[in-house]
Structure 1
């Protein structure tokens, strides 16, 4: 696996060495990212969330961050010997696991074009239609159906009310919560507000994914004040719960501001 400790795995590099077969992902991902319908969805899905409701970003930047974090998390888990069951139980290839992760990460929030509330459920029919058009370029009909099933399951289960049944879906669920740096909380908050959601969203300085010692993955979070605990405890902890990845991810959050020692360190 490539050494990306300098950026915490912020950007997927198709030319790097990975702990999974990446040829199929590297073939499909550029086509996905250049697809006009996909690109329009990613722009349009911010209208309800940001323009109309005044919430934080759920558009192109969020999707880019989640997809890169998801592929990094998947890579670290594979390096640590974690078995993935989604593609395997459908009779698909190991190389399809990363494609499922990338597709679900990219499409998980498109339901926002219908409404912010319950958006995960609206994402399902929209993504299904898109996948019916997109997947046949790379798969035969039986594989299209099975790939679609796994991608839709992962999309649905980024919503905390739904429990993932696959490790691929667990990756999407956790990665969605990892977009929390410098005001990029996944807890909706109103811009300019002074509530705990707003204040805590400003308290996370950086998030990095690294190989762990006791567990395959270490998530290191640097906070600039104790309010960041709310983000870690109320969002990330909830997303990790029932993700099927609890035994493989260690989370450490450290308060780096010397004059604010209400909380120095928390660990999940």
Structure 2
């Protein structure tokens, strides 16, 4: 219940603003959880405790806030795995060309598997080496921010393995009106 509810509500605060959205998400989720959890948990004390764990998982899903529980760590890591190619397509097509959009477009697939050195492996397949930014600066930080850091290995693979070149995402850019644009 904790992971499910936190996963569903962790980004609800984006309706207020991207900046500080974990805080806004926790605030907006509180009345929803207060209304729904008593329908699942008969004892008010248990519902209140579960609500606290859910709110912690929501609030700590960004890498700059430590995840203190296994459930919060799962939500944070799962959020970090949400870096597929499609997430960067619209901003890129609208002219927002930067390392964030280019690296997001570089991610072919993310797979959660049984690990070889640790119990869990997150395998990130990249069409372009720029995807390493997503792995190093986003996913790694989310894994490191929680209690599961010693249980997860991250493997990033440029596809196809062994190829000498990457798929090109950007050929030419022009800087005008304060932004880089493909042309």
Q: TM-score, normalised by structure 2?
A: 0.82
How far does residue 146 in structure 1 lie from its aligned partner after superposition?
A: 0.3
How far does residue 251 in structure 1 lie from its aligned partner after superposition?
A: 0.8
Residues 215, 248 of structure 1: 8 Å contact kept: yes
Partner of 1:177: 80
Partner of 2:10: 108
Q: Distance in 1 between matches of 2:97 and 2:68?
A: 37
Higher strand share: 2
1:224 to 2:127 alignment: yes
How far does residue 212 in structure 1 lie from its aligned partner after superposition?
A: 1.5
Structure 1 residues 217 and 161, CA gap change in structure 2 (3 angstroms) = same
Partner SS state of residue 63, structure 2: coil
Residues 63, 145 of structure 2: 8 Å contact kept: no
How far does residue 197 in structure 1 lie from its aligned partner after superposition?
A: 1.1
**1:164-198 deviation digits (Å, cap 9, x = unpaired):** 1111111111110101111326xxx6643221111
Structure 2 gaps, min length 5 = 167-183
> How many aligned residue pairs are there?
160
Spell out the pairing of 1:55-70 with structure 2 (5 A cutoff). none
How far does residue 259 in structure 1 lie from its aligned partner after superposition?
A: 3.5
**1:5-58 deviation digits (Å, cap 9, x = unpaired):** xxxxxxxxxxxxxxxxxxxxxxxxxxxxxxxxxxxxxxxxxxxxxxxxxxxxxx
Residues 37, 47 of structure 2: 8 Å contact kept: yes
Q: Among residues 127, 145, 161, which one is paired with 1:242 in the alignment?
A: 145
Q: Distance in 2 between matches of 1:115 and 1:213?
A: 40
Q: Distance in 2 between matches of 1:228 and 1:211?
A: 22
1:260 to 2:162 alignment: no
Partner SS state of residue 250, structure 1: strand
Structure 1 gaps, min length 5 = 1-98, 262-268
Deviation beyond 4 Å, 4+ runs, structure 1: none
Residues 64, 145 of structure 2: 8 Å contact kept: no
Residues 9, 29 of structure 2: 8 Å contact kept: yes
Partner SS state of residue 117, structure 1: coil
Q: Distance in 2 between matches of 1:242 and 1:236?
A: 10
- State the structure with more CA Rg: 2
Spell out the pairing of 1:70-109 with structure 2 (5 A cutoff). 99-109=1-11
1:126 to 2:28 alignment: yes
